[in-house]
Amino acid sequence: MKQQYRIRNWSEYNAGLKQRGSLTFWVSEDAIDQWLNSNPSGQLGAPRIYSDLAILSVLTVVTPKNWTVGRESKLKSRRNWGHDKKAKEL
């Protein structure tokens, strides 16, 4: 029988859980200099236009975080759930 683990130091346990989800990445000075587009429109209230480097950097970090294999399979199973139910009723 597997021995049950008892948590005795909850503050340390919670800090460990928070640390597990953290992500740190370094950005070079060159990338920071190229982050914003060098040709702003100059109009008041106009949205900022980001460089291609900034957009690709954000997509590189966001895409793997939000689209894991487990989530993808859950979405597929949810999509097919209604169809399977209808097929069983026929």
Pairwise CA distance, residues 16 & 89, whole Å: 48
The DSSP result for 35-59, as a single string, is: SB-SS----TTPPP-B-HHHHHHHH
Domain with 64, as residue range(s), is 10-89
Q: Is residue 29 part of a domain?
A: yes
Q: Is residue 45 assigned to a domain?
A: yes
Q: Nearest CA to 23 among 81, 68, 62?
A: 62
In this predicted structure, the answer to whether residue 31 has a pLDDT above a threshold of 70 is yes
Instruction: Look at residue 3 and tell me if it is in a domain.
Output: no
Domain count along the chain = 1
* pLDDT at 89 > cutoff 50: no
Q: Please state the pTM of the whole predicted model.
A: 0.40
CB 31, CB 48: distance < 8 Å: no
**Mean pLDDT confidence for 4-25:** 84
Tokens 């236009």 locate to 49
Q: Is 55 contained in some domain?
A: yes
